[in-house]
Structure 1
Amino acid sequence: MDDKTMHNGELETGIPLIPPSEIKALEEKALREKRESETSDSTEESVLYWQQNDHIPAKLSALKETLKEVIGLGVSFDVVFREMNFAGRNAGLLFLNGFTNDDILTEILTRLTYLKPEDVSNQQVLTEMMTKYIPHVQVERDTRLSKIINEVLSGLCALFIEDAHSAILLDARKYPVRGLEEPDVERVVRGARDGFTETLVTNVNLVRRRVRDPGLHIEILKVGRRTRTDVGLVFIDDIADRTQVEAIRAKIQEVDLEGLPLGDKQLEEAIVNKGWHPYPLVRYSERPDVVSSHLLEGRIVIMVDTSPSVMIMPSTFLDLCQHAEENRQTPFMGTYLRWIRFIGIFASMFLLPLWMLLVVHPELKPVGLDIIGPHENSKIPIILQFMIVEFGVDLLRLAAVHTPTPLASAMGLIAAILVGDIAVKTGLFVNEVVLYMAVATIGMYATPSYELGLANRMVRLLLLIATALFGVKGFVIGTTLLILLLTTHRSYNSSYLWPFIPFSAKAMGEILFRKPLLMSRRRPALNKTRDNTKMGSEMNPRREH
């Protein structure tokens, strides 16, 4: 018997033999500790942590071990690794169940099963499969495992061949898609009824359908270490200002977040409005026709996957006051609707503070307007009445969002009859307070931009308080501070109140009047476009050459 012969559970050398069960327990403990100590922030870091490099393992068994730890193969039910044999070689197909078009994938796999070992060479097996035997349009090859995993998590399929050290990516995605519907916020009497959905590819197609320009560029950027959200940077290359495009692209690339689960709003806070300023610097839209018209004006559009709205940049205060309905009517009626909208926005901001000012200082009332002001005493001070009604309107707005549709009518009756009417009859509120608050609220809802309407409501509240405390001085100083606040609020190095401050008569005319199509020959100067004319070569000397 040699020195390695086992005797009574020990080697003859005196070293005790560890039972296999204990070895397995130790390996499981070490694996558990390694899992608990992982602090990877990205797919690439996770792959490097588990296999010390970012290469695709030669053997499928080693690949499956890495996929188990990185992507949850065998743990997550929707992560599928289908093992097959093509041309005498072991192969594995990695995909997410639910993101894959079964018909396309079945057709590809069916063709590959017919391959024999002599049909492909040993050195170029993946290349020959791609070029000869995979009848699909979007196919690419990569050697980085982290890139493969990220693409699979985006919905692509990855085909691994043993000993090939690379994989084939097949774009056979089938995302869950909501049907095209008209946006609730931007409804028009006449016009297109399609709106953006939560799928980026669908939104791009809706814009491409309207802008068939070869200069329309759509760059895809990945944002978020964990979510890897697709962000589309959309612009027309020969119109948009390239400096502005590069600045926006750089800001998106510099975003260092875990992800964008809430979509475009989080991206806006990361790249544009980073402080506590209430006014929006971008315009949101869910209408592809509105977005297309802004692209033709030289603006830049940002699309975020999973968001049904897109961001239009740059935008000013007066841009946010315009609506698609104005361009769906005749120039005369469009101008009329625009002025009515401006009056509603003005009323939502200044009607209540002005009425409060005339109540506090009756001597300021114009001749013939003695009817303004409460003619009956109330148990609650006027300013407190406004505060209660303001918060009550916000509470009703929030309740309307969360109220099921069958109960919406009942909630409206409760708000109008049980709350408003009874509060006036009991003497808690003055009739005029409820009336003017209703007018101001209608003006807020008539504001095309929902974010702008909320910001104007906050300004109204602050002006009310300033007027109640300091009278004329409070109203004048508050209004002056508001103008200064909006003037210093920059929209990509341009004044937020342009073309009012700095004043541009021509541009202001374009804002106040909806000009006929053939009279609107130039793009807004705010966009700093490379080509500022909309008409043919007779208006643009550059095009003649």
Structure 2
Amino acid sequence: MVEKITKTISSSFEENIDFMDRILPVDESFDIIRRNLEVGGRNAVFYFIDGFVKDETMLKLMTSFIALTEKTMPEDASAFCKKCVPYVEVDVLGNFDQVIRNVLSGAAVLFIEGYAACICIDCRTYPARSVDEPDKDKSMRGSRDGFVETLVFNTALMRRRIRDPHLVMEMTEAGQVSRTDIAICYMQDRVDAELLKNVKTRIEELKIQDLRMNQQSLAEALFKRKWFNPFPKFKYTERPDTAAACLLEGKVVIMVDNSPSAMILPTSILDMIEEANDYYFPTLTGIYLKVTRTLITIATVFLTPLFLLFMQNLNWLPEVFSFIAVRDVVNIPLIFQLLILELSIDGLRLAAMNTPSMLSTPLSVIAGIVMGEFSVQSGWFNSEVMLYMAFVAVANYTQPNFELGYALKFMRLMLLVLTACFNWIGFLAGCICILCFLIFNKTLSGRNYLNVKLN
């Protein structure tokens, strides 16, 4: 629950200004501007954040206000907004909680002597990057725009695609310190009313200091996940066309200010492995892409554990597949080879993330040659193990969900360890555990990954 200031604006101009000066660190913070001026023969004070308000806009507003005379001054703040403020987004505020929140959000507020209210002029402009296509979730034939860190721009990208009066975007906030803006988007005539009510109630009842990690902080506060179940509870997308399509399917989209992605509810395992390209091609092609991605996703989990299982039980291996058996000398047990390569692949990925872009390609080639060629020649790894782990590393990029990729990786590691320790019994137990993780992975909608209602 967000802590609010209960004090209302009084008719005393000096009392209002004194309260604002005590709440806002005007003298300590260089970017909080207090501008004194005279409007229609009355004292007035502007409060705004430098960097959120453009100088040209403030200059035009002040020029218009200073030109007012005592005869042209309206009697109250509402009439002043209607007759004297040459701007589009103007509001009259009656309590200091709204005033402080608007100032710190970037709007300019004006106190005028004799008015028992504050005039809020929303002329803020947030620093924002261009709406380029996301690097992670690209489409070959789809639109080339993507969400940015400014909430208003993101909602506009979806409103541009859905010109329907049933599209509702409710604004709320969370965090007693950060007071982060949150937009709950849904189609009024298609959304699941029970799910929507549950989402709103959870957000309103949040007791959290701040959303320092934006959507991740909100996701953890909304739904306390079990630490041992790594499968994600939400689907994320940086594509406005994907978010708009989910809205039209009756889902709820949650957007957080300062975050370039949207949270989608409810979700299932099939939703997780979808991507935009599945819908930008003919039906047959789209189905083929989905099936291919599903099969590859399954292969990333079971390929190396099955290989290890057959290597431990060579008599199970059919004659036609005898060529996959390891022929070279095994200096290091296969399970340790697989685990070391799992860690090495993650190390290369982390190194690539922190490597300057001009060096990432040559360094990746060098690392691939060193690990692929010389590690086999030195006797650390067998060529078959390197081949299967290379397939797993590349296949992880066939689905765009980063969290799901690591969840599948943890399932693969669990299968490897159980198979190495308990042979086929461990492999069977690992498969049962994976199925249980999927079945009992309860999401915010009350359903699991298989879209079955859980109590």
Shorter-chain TM-score bucket reads: over 0.9
Q: Counterpart of 1:345 in structure 2: which amino acid?
A: T
Aligned partners of 1:157, 1:189: CA distance in 2, in Å?
A: 43
Question: Residue 159 of structure 1 contacts residue 169 of structure 1 at CA under 8 Å; is this kept in 2?
Answer: yes
CA contact (8 A) 1:240 1:300 kept: yes
Question: In structure 2, what is the Cα distance between the partners aligned to 1:243 and 1:105?
Answer: 45
Cα distance, 1:42 vs. partner?
Answer: 4.6
Name which of 171, 174, 181 aligns with 1:220. Answer: 171
1:494 aligns with 447
| Structure 1 residue 418 displacement after superposition | 2.1
Match of 1:250 in 2: 201
Give the secondary-structure state (helix, strand or coil) at the position aligned to 2:51. Answer: coil
SS in 1 for 2:269: coil
Structure 2 matches for 1:43-442, cutoff 5 A? 44=5, 53-56=7-10, 58-60=12-14, 62-120=15-73, 124-276=75-227, 277-442=229-394
> What is the CA–CA distance in structure 2 between the aligned matches of 1:131 and 1:110, rounded to whole Å?
17
Q: Distance in 2 between matches of 1:443 and 1:155?
A: 45
Give the Cα–Cα distance (whole angstroms) in 1 for the partners of residues 409 and 176 of structure 2: 37
* TM superposition outliers: structure 1 runs of 4+ over 6 Å: none
Give the match's secondary structure for 2:320. coil
Aligned equivalents of 2:11, 2:323: Cα separation in 1: 85
The answer to which of 145-154 and 233-242 deviates more is 145-154
Distance 2:204 2:366 in 1: 50
Residue 322 of structure 2 aligns to a residue in which SS?
coil
Amino acid at match of 1:183: P
Deviations 1:160-207 (A, max 9, x none): 012423210111011111101111111111110000000000000100
- Given that 2:142 and 2:280 are in contact with CA atoms closer than 8 Å, whether structure 1 keeps it comes out as yes
Equivalent position amino acid for 1:496 in 2: Y
1:285 corresponds to which letter in structure 2? T
Which secondary structure state, in structure 1, belongs to the residue aligned with residue 127 of structure 2? coil
* 8 Å CA contact 1:344, 1:442 repeated in 2: no
Show CA shifts across 1:86-124 (max 9, x none).
111000010001111333332222221121112225xx2
> Residue 220 of structure 1 contacts residue 230 of structure 1 at CA under 8 Å; is this kept in 2?
yes
The CA deviation string for residues 315-369 of structure 1, in whole angstroms up to 9 with x for no partner, is 0111101111111111122122212211210111110101010001112212310
1: distance between equivalents of 2:422 and 2:94?
70
Contact preservation (8 Å) 2:305, 2:427 = yes
Which whole-Å deviations, capped at 9, do the CAs of 1:354-387 have from their partners, x for residues lacking one?
A: 1010001112212310012211122211111111
Deviates more, 1:208-217 or 1:138-147: 138-147
Could you tell me how far 1:65 is from its partner in structure 2? 4.2
Distance (whole Å) between structure 2 residues aligned to residue 306 and residue 285 of structure 1: 15
Determine which of 478, 494, 507 is the counterpart of 2:430: 478
Relative to structure 1, the CA distance from residue 134 to residue 227 in structure 2 (aligned partners, 3 Å threshold; closer, same or farther) is same
Paired residues, what number?
Answer: 451
SS at the partner of 1:117? coil
Return the alpha-carbon distance in structure 2 between the equivalents of residues 127 and 342 of structure 1: 60
**Equivalent-residue separation in structure 1 for 2:59 and 2:429 (angstroms):** 71
CA contact (8 A) 2:26 2:33 kept: yes
Deviations 1:32-88 (A, max 9, x none): xxxxxxxxx9562xxx7xxxx44357234x545433442210111110011000111
Does the CA contact (< 8 Å) of 1:353 and 1:460 recur in 2?
yes
Answer yes or no: is the 8 Å Cα contact 2:231–2:404 preserved in 1: yes
Residues 305 and 419 of structure 2 are in contact (CA less than 8 Å); yes or no, is this contact kept in structure 1?
A: yes
CA–CA distance in structure 1, aligned partners of residues 248 and 20 of structure 2: 46
CA distance in 1, matches of 2:249, 2:371: 48
User: What is aligned with 1:536?
Assistant: none
Amino acid at match of 1:335: I
Q: Do the aligned partners of 2:9 and 2:16 also contact (CA within 8 Å) in 1?
A: no
Report if the CA contact (8 A) 1:273-1:281 is conserved: no
Alpha-carbon distance between aligned partners in 1 of 2:67 and 2:118, rounded to the nearest angstrom: 20
What residue identity is the alignment partner of 1:325? Answer: N
Deviations 1:300-326 (A, max 9, x none): 000001000000100011110111111
Q: Quote the Cα distance in structure 2 between the aligned partners of 1:373 and 1:237.
A: 59
| Alpha-carbon distance in 1 for matches of 2:224, 2:329 | 45
- Which residues of structure 1 form unaligned runs of 5+? 1-40, 503-525, 527-545
Shift of the 386–458 alpha-carbon distance from structure 1 to 2, 3 Å rule, reads same
Q: Do the aligned residues in 1 keep the contact of 2:167 with 2:187 (CA within 8 Å)?
A: yes
Bigger shift: 160-169 or 318-327? 160-169
RMSD of Structure 2 on Structure 1 (CA)? 1.8
User: Which amino acid in the other structure matches residue 137 of structure 2?
Assistant: E
Where relative contact order (Cα < 8 A, 6+ residues apart) is larger, the structure is 2
Contact 1:182-1:194 at 8 Å conserved across structures: yes
